[in-house]
Structure 1
């Protein structure tokens, strides 16, 4: 695989650079506006850019700036209320026994639908070693926290020694039992996953990685090799997919994606309704869309390949599961509909007097 640092360094950061990589598209720059870049930076490495087949396709929509990002007056800067839930900068303590640690503002690709797009790739997200030390100190004096999710930005873009140091600090805290890493590099820059990196990660079991694939075309030979390296290193892999209008908002696309992930030893974990993030309203589907898709998946593919559909409630209120309603009537007998639309009956248990 090519050196991941070189690929990252040669990323394009403005629409005017696109012609250097995609000469086959005539008048390419005319379809893109520069006006969103000051607020929402652009970065696309050559690997991920190579997955684009035509203007406006599912890969294009995820990474190419869209003028509608500046026309969104419905959504919010910080839809999940992370800043209000941060006892110290870059540590979010939303759930009683879990915390989110933000360790970098950099990603291999700046996804246009990102929940933290107000900060990622900008100085508005400033992280120093002193700041991280304050986060470790908070975790040490808050023993109720037993699990830490490392995110950013993308933590796996950090240097190997930096990743090693962060994991070592977290593992040294007695109350922390489990570490998770949220990373999209297996999808957007798979050559970053090296044997040297895996050797570091495997020192810190139990350690889990939740990655992020949104479309079957992202399941490339390079991505498969990256996930195989991680899985062979004993690292359980999950995938958090976002339901995106015009990208994957149909059952056939998601069926192909989820079955492909399972073959790669990546468990589809969550399918998220798009967050209410400013600049992303054009990606949002109705909640009914997601529920209808799940109805088309249940029973038709392996349960191992089916994620949980959920939305993250605004203001930091937490994840809310969404599901088709199969129950038609309840009482002494539960009347419900199965995945084929057949009406079934199940007698409720009766407590003895």
Structure 2
């Protein structure tokens, strides 16, 4: 009996299982820091009760009803843009109120009642509040530029921005549900909401029609979903009539700042214009709420793929655990993490700009540590409108004729066969590859 037991212990299948168990323990250890950190990261779903309380307080202040709250036009009409009104809805010190008043003389601000309900009233460092309420640092910015992307020099026709060969942007409005404090186009906001003139939009569409290499059109602003269904329908119909336009995209933050805009009527209209995509802009797990889920689910049911373009913002999400949790929450509401943009040095926003090393550290803590669906591209926009440039940690260490040296997500180094070269017979190469893939250096 003892001999049988010993035989079982050394059986190859037992040995493999022991190795697998040991490896699983190693993997569990690698994620322990995240599992501890995530206990303390607030999310929209965890804070639902607080949101509902704030919602009731805001509705009471406006003398409004639940039906009003769900009406996106009510949300737009009642954006808070006056510090006296804000003080009645959120506790502010005299100094904070004075700073907001001072900043508002130079930079416009407004926040929807819905987005205000997501803010932690007593926390000046609340990541939602930092994105919506002006800061004195906007005035103290000494090195930001009005137009670091040189959009004014990449506009061959009214309302067009073109940086690439086969795609371009139409800017259809300066209007937003909320004017984000990190906005890259704050120079265009002005003091009055102004959709693009019909003549400008027609000129932009004529330009697209005259350039057959343009296959992809991004409709942006401001926020295009603050326009009426009818006007959006007309723009999309015109683009549909251009044979070489293969896809349309809409860039919108309303699923984050005013999800009530995603109505059944809007979704039915968008559904007529497939293939169409929506890229939105969640920056923190607190923004992923049940209201946002209702909006994204409607879009998903209409067959519209959703991607997220987060901006890496100092004090908001420049933390590997926060960004990972954001991406996990997004996948739960049908939104695929697409880009993490390094914040641009726009005048009045540079207090949000983190280091590129922080962005690379976040990518190091995503690749391999979570599912590929939760790993977006980390992008820096080259100065002067030279285009998006992806940044990655260094995984390819060296290239030789027959082999490459790679570093894995765990920091292990392997020598791998470079398949483009045939220097020996295939049998010998197979042997070499098997040996070298286990040459790990710790």
Q: Which range, TM-score by smaller chain?
A: over 0.9
Q: Is the 8 A contact 2:175 2:195 kept in 1?
A: no
Partner of 2:99: 32
Partner of 1:20: 88
242, 249, 253: which one pairs with 1:180?
249
Matched, 1:344 2:411: no
Aligned length: 352
1:107-146 maps to which residues of 2 (within 5 A)?
107-122=176-191, 127-146=196-215
Partner of 2:375: 306
Partner of 1:4: 72
1:285-304 maps to which residues of 2 (within 5 A)?
285-304=354-373
Bigger drift between 88-97 and 235-244 goes to 88-97
Partner of 2:10: none
1:249-268 maps to which residues of 2 (within 5 A)?
249-268=318-337
Q: Structure 1: which 5+ residue stretches go unaligned?
A: none
158, 163, 170: which one pairs with 1:101?
170
Partner of 2:21: none
Q: CA deviation at 1:120?
A: 2.0
Q: CA deviation at 1:146?
A: 0.9
Deviation per CA, 1:124-160: give whole Å up to 9, x if none: 9772001111111111111111110000000001111
Matched, 1:90 2:176: no
Partner of 1:274: 343
Q: CA deviation at 1:37?
A: 1.8
CA RMSD of aligned residues (A): 1.7
Q: CA deviation at 1:34?
A: 1.8
Q: Secondary structure at the match of 1:34?
A: helix
Q: Is the 8 A contact 2:314 2:354 kept in 1?
A: yes
Normalised by the size of structure 1, how large is the TM-score? 0.95
115, 118, 126: which one pairs with 1:51?
118
More helix by share: 2
Q: Secondary structure at the match of 1:32?
A: helix
For 1:200 and 1:162, the matched residues in 2 are separated by 11
Matched, 1:335 2:405: yes
For 2:366 and 2:337, the matched residues in 1 are separated by 13
For 2:369 and 2:422, the matched residues in 1 are separated by 38
Q: Is the 8 A contact 2:83 2:97 kept in 1?
A: no
Normalised by the size of structure 2, how large is the TM-score? 0.77
391, 396, 400: which one pairs with 1:322?
391
140, 150, 156: which one pairs with 1:71?
140
Q: CA deviation at 1:28?
A: 7.6
Partner of 2:225: 156
